[in-house]
Amino acid sequence: MIGIARGEDRVALVTGGGSGLGAHIVRALHADGYRVLIGDVAMDGAKALARDLDAGGERVRAVPLDVRDKRAFVAVVEAAADWGGIDVLVNNAAITPTTPVMLIEPDEFDAVMAVNLRGPFFGCQVVGEHLRGRRAGRIINIASQAGQMGGTVTGAHYAAAKAALMLLTKFFAREFGGTGITVNAVSPGALDLPAVRAALPAERLQAIAAAMPSGRLGHPEEVAAAVCLLASSSMGYVTGATWDINGGTFMR
């Protein structure tokens, strides 16, 4: 049986890693033995998380990263050189407005696409080319069940970007086929996160949970565990896939 090879001192970059689901992914990768770069535009949260996990900065660092800017990814790759380069990219950064579809204005639509779709695209390009030179690596895109079914809470622009991200995952999986790089997506359903609880009344959340086959909302740690598994060196035969983590609300 093939064992699950964990961090083995490899380096992971998590975009939007300073808060929310990204912070849980950072914590899980760190616990698995990775050195972790927390890429974020909100540096206060990213720095606080880095200090909490590793006050000396030897295994966790906060790095400025605006995913809308391709050059920012180049700068992070360069900054990781003293750690030996990046081995794993987790494209997690996203914004989640809930504006009704008929009220979405052009600027808001463009802003969502810039972060939620263009950002991961640049990440796959820049970090993917870096990984190609290393002949190994993992790229994991954080998608959403909203991109498969249409969001009941999130906006149409968010759902459309996540649907496109799952398609981009397949394109990049083919692009890097045969290089030792895998590209996969994780598609979470409703998660028990502070932002979700702030967006919906408690009775609405209870109704959503009750309607799910699982009977509950997902825990962000469960998504983070799937990311760690896909990031491991034992998962080299899985690429171009989308893993559904949704309590059974979307089955295929």
Give the residue numbers marked as catalytic: 158
The answer to whether the Cα torsion of 41, 42, 44, 49 is positive or negative is negative
* Residue that is written with structure tokens 């397949």 in the block: 170
Q: Dump the DSSP string for 187-239.
A: EE-SB--HHHHHHS-HHHHHHHHHHSTTSSPBPHHHHHHHHHHHHSTT-TT--
Q: What is the rounded CA–CA span in Å between residue 33 and residue 56?
A: 16
Show the tokens assigned to 145.
Answer: 């069940």
3-state SS of 117-182 is: HHHHHHHHHHHHHHHHHHCCEEEEEECCCHHHHCCCCCCHHHHHHHHHHHHHHHHHHHHCCCCCEE
Show the tokens assigned to 226.
Answer: 């799937």
* 28 SS3 class: helix
Q: What is the rounded CA–CA span in Å between residue 137 and residue 176?
A: 10
For the purposes of burial, counting CB atoms within 10 Å of the CB of 213, is it exposed (0-12), middle (13-18) or buried (19 or more)? exposed
Q: What is the rounded CA–CA span in Å between residue 250 and residue 149?
A: 8
